[in-house]
A and B are shown apart, each in its own frame.
Chain A
């Protein structure tokens, strides 16, 4: 590889040809401030439109300042990252950006966690000269079931556009108009609800300002908890415990399962349960469905289609409903763990504690924004009453805990309640890419072969590669498994299936980078992929510390089938735990 020598702030460095000034400086420990630039290393996600001009530096022999995020180094280059000219230019750029930015920081949902606000502080902006000449845009705020868009706060960094188009290939968002009116949104400024948006929330996860935020349900939860006539129960998704600590100043990857349970109990939830229980239940249903389709397929039944695709991820479900409506018979019909939990809570559990359906409120804590939309889907309601009443994100839970003057750092570790709080390690790994299919493999292998696994870990299914392929030996039958995280990667696997080129028996899809641990409702990673990787480690360590590692060995799952459901895929299970999909594609018709 060709090397290039250059000088940055009087320090000599040699880097690979093609390196940007920003990256070269980083190697020297010089952190040039950036705003629009974002790089999730090892996940293949980079945004460098070179648009905001905050990262400008002085290059000797060059007339104008250079955007360091998108300017490549050359031999003998001499760079100054903090000359007076640079400092003044950066502040001026910031003043321009702020000139037409709303000034409602005090009540903005992003306040305290806003990259624009942080940058204004860092660059010492004390006044905004010329703001009287700026034209404030007046876009209508778009309230979708999951995401709120306030385009007046858009600074055109275009990170959301990159995530929506390049990473997810959803194509709901694009930059439009120009000048003060410029913003990012769906075609014809339609509402997100009418666009092909899947509510994956990755636009929210990367937005540096308050332009994109989650639909906040914390007030609804507080109102429910304040109502003495209601029994309020809560379920927590696996990825939440691996990230919530970050909101309380803990190192990324700190597991806070016990402290989270303690906090939820002190917030006043009547029963603190675990979505992992429902993940075990998902494995029972989805695993049985997989084995059923697999057995029929292997015995030559041409009617049965393979591969089977996982269906836990609501953004993924929306994605194939929008983009591959002709293939809605391929994914598993199993509902997601969130919805399985809701359905069981409002039937089996409600009966057990003798509470009427309408007096039982189910709250879910999710790393995800699409879960808010999923909870509202009509097919998951009984006479208008949803199985899951409110779905709040990891970030919203952190707000609730702080508002109640609780601190995870000082809370004891407590255990989930029974029966819907007991889970296996298989349920835990649902939160990371490859985890659902590993959990399914643990159970499907043992049921299919009748043998006990010596080792429950399937290392070949783990990792962060965009698309992974592995073959697991089911007692002489090789089972080909595919895994993709990110909808753009999922699209590639789907195109193969469509073209009849897929060699897989089963495929797991998660929409977010790294799986649910990188979800749109998680604490903001601010472009640091190490945070996402640390969360994955935490998830796997929780799994390995569990006495039960396989879903079908969870005693409360066994009991649920004995007392209530009968067996997997029974009529009752079908009614409560399975679903169907819809065609949501855009169709051009002759008028």
Chain B
């Protein structure tokens, strides 16, 4: 068995090194490093985690452990229009689950997945602090309140030609 090679683009490698360096390559800053890295790349694929692990001199298993523990981190690329459905208590009791099911049906993807054309991705989040508008849906930075399953089609239509 020979060594294992991890392939990364040069500009990506430089960027990750720069992020790690801005946190003094400290292991204790892993979560902050991952936040910044995800902010830049949109997601955290395996090869990026490998570089982070090497830069912070820690095992890649540990990095992966943190990435999979926190639901904010994702290993899959988000769509051009990331859709988040709030499933916090207030939204949930006001029917967020039905809204979620409708999004899944219309987009033909599961939570955490992205459509084949890379346009939409689906995720759940917990309470955006707008419980008065429950159930709440976010598309990118735009907030939609009092969404019903019937309203899903309408929301998606807004982005159809974008």
Contact = CB atoms under 8 A, between A and B. Distances in A.
Interface string A558-591: 0000000000000000000000001111111111
Contact of B9 (A177, A186, A591): A591
Contact of B58 (A171, A178, A194, A590): A171
A177 B68 contact: yes
A165 interface: yes
Interface string B1-44: 11111111110010000000000000000000000000000000
Interface string B58-82: 1111111100110000000000000
B69 A586 contact: no
B155 interface: no
The residue in A171, A185, A583 that gathers the most chain B C-beta atoms within 10 A of its C-beta is A171
Contacts of B47: 588
B49 interface: yes
Contact of B8 (A170, A178, A194, A591): A591
Nearest to A590: B10
B62 A583 contact: no
Nearest to A186: B61
Given A582-B2, A589-B7, A171 B50 contact: no
B143 interface: no
Given A174-B64, A174-B65, A187-B49, A588 B59 contact: no
A554 interface: no
Interface in B112-148: none
Given A176-B68, A590-B9, A187 B4 contact: no
Given A174-B61, A583-B3, A187 B8 contact: no
A591 B61 contact: no
B83 interface: no
A193 to B, nearest CB: 8
B59 A172 contact: yes
A175 interface: yes
Contact of A588 (B1, B50, B63): B50
A174 B46 CA distance: 15
Interface in A160-194: 165, 170-178, 185-188, 194
Contacts, number: 85
A336 interface: no
Nearest to A195: B61
A101 to B, nearest CB: 21
Given A586-B50, A590-B13, A176 B64 contact: yes
Nearest to B4: A586
Interface range for A: 20 to 34
B27 to A, nearest CB: 12
A325 interface: yes
A196 B13 CA distance: 22
Interface in A122-173: 165, 170-173
Contacts of A591: 7-9
A165 B3 contact: no
Interface in B67-107: 68-69
Contacts of A587: 3-6
A185 B65 CA distance: 9
Nearest to A185: B61
Contacts of A188: 46, 49, 64
Contacts of A325: 3
A589 B6 contact: yes
A178 B73 CA distance: 13
A317 to B, nearest CB: 12
Nearest to A378: B1
B14 to A, nearest CB: 10
B59 A590 contact: no
Given A194-B4, A584-B2, A591-B8, A187 B59 contact: yes
A31 to B, nearest CB: 33
Given A174-B62, A176-B61, A590-B8, 5 more contacts: A170-B59, A171-B59, A174-B65, A586-B54, A588-B8
Interface of A: 165, 170-178, 185-188, 194-196, 325, 582-591
The 5 closest A-B pairs by CB, nearest first: A171-B59, A174-B61, A591-B7, A174-B65, A187-B64
27 contacts: A171-B58, A172-B59, A174-B59, A174-B62, A175-B69, A176-B68, A176-B69, A185-B61, A187-B49, A187-B53, A187-B60, A187-B61, A188-B46, A582-B1, A583-B2, A584-B1, A584-B2, A586-B3, A586-B54, A587-B5, A588-B47, A588-B50, A588-B54, A589-B6, A590-B8, A590-B9, A590-B10
